[in-house]
Amino acid sequence: MTTSAPAGPVGYSLPLSPSGDAAMITPPPWHFAGDVVMVDYRVDPGVARRFLPPELDLGADPGRAAAVFADWQWCSDSGAELAEPARCQFTEFLILLGCEYRGKPLARCPYAWVDSPVPMVRGWVQGMPKQFGEIHQTRPRTVGRAGPRPGSPGRYDGTLSVHGKRVAEATVHPARRVEDPPALHAVPLVHTRYFPGWVASQPPVSQLVTSEVTDVEFGEIWTGAANLTLFDTLDGDFAGLAPLEIGAGHVFSYAETLLGGQAL
């Protein structure tokens, strides 16, 4: 009588283990809900073009960009992560660039920061260029005076610091409610899943993908005047994304379910 050899450790992500329970990332779907502070702005189209892979173009509105602060809570289908707030909550800052693929409007994220390891590694799985940073933003309050009331005019601020240096800050003064979501928050994101080659004879993994998202919900969307500053404290490429013109700011709640990715 012969027995088969053990299958070995398994898991959706590293670390692998006999049961797979040690995996840092659970498999999708992943459910997200959060509060967003967002500023529309414009960058030099020539700079934006250099951040896009050859398959993408700038589309009908070259130079369109946005800076996004978000305060998230997430869970898998089981909801088990919600029992551990330190695991299921994180903050995030993104730069988004408007682009198109064969006439389809998309948004490209050249830079992103989060304050927790799980969303950072999960971002790498998706192809999002997430790094560690300290992100803070104004939180609305339903009582008292220590914060704006939800669904009313007020002031919202967001800040990003990396390695102890201020990198970005924004202020939004929401003054009126609108029905349409901000353009770059209403189109699919397009990422490059990139992993350097480790075995000398093999090239790096490089795959252009979008995400499959369902159950999208927007809360009340408030818009108004905004300010945005990107500081010249990182690399020269990031400095090139500084605003040439600042548009409207937006404050809203948002939710989605992320099912996985699709190759372009």
How far is the C-alpha of 264 from the C-alpha of 249, rounded, in Å?
A: 31
Task: Report the Cα 217 to chain-centroid distance in Å.
Answer: 16
To 5 degrees, how large is the angle CA 78–CA 80–CA 82?
Answer: 120
**CB-based contacts of 67, cutoff 8 Å, min separation 6:** 38, 39, 41, 93, 94, 95, 96, 168, 170, 228, 230
pLDDT score of 152: 85
**257 exposed, middle or buried (CB, 10 Å; 0-12, 13-18, 19+)?**
middle
Indicate the class that CATH gives domain 30-255.
mainly beta
pLDDT score of 5: 56
* Domain ranges within the chain, ordered by starting residue: 30-255
- Give residue-wise pLDDT tens across range 156-179: 999 999 999 999 999 999 999 999
How far is the C-alpha of 136 from the C-alpha of 157, rounded, in Å?
A: 8
pLDDT score of 7: 74
Flag residues of the chain having pLDDT under 50: none
pLDDT score of 98: 98
How far is the C-alpha of 245 from the C-alpha of 89, rounded, in Å?
A: 33
- Give residue-wise pLDDT tens across range 67-114: 999 999 999 999 999 999 999 999 999 999 999 999 999 999 999 999
pLDDT score of 150: 87
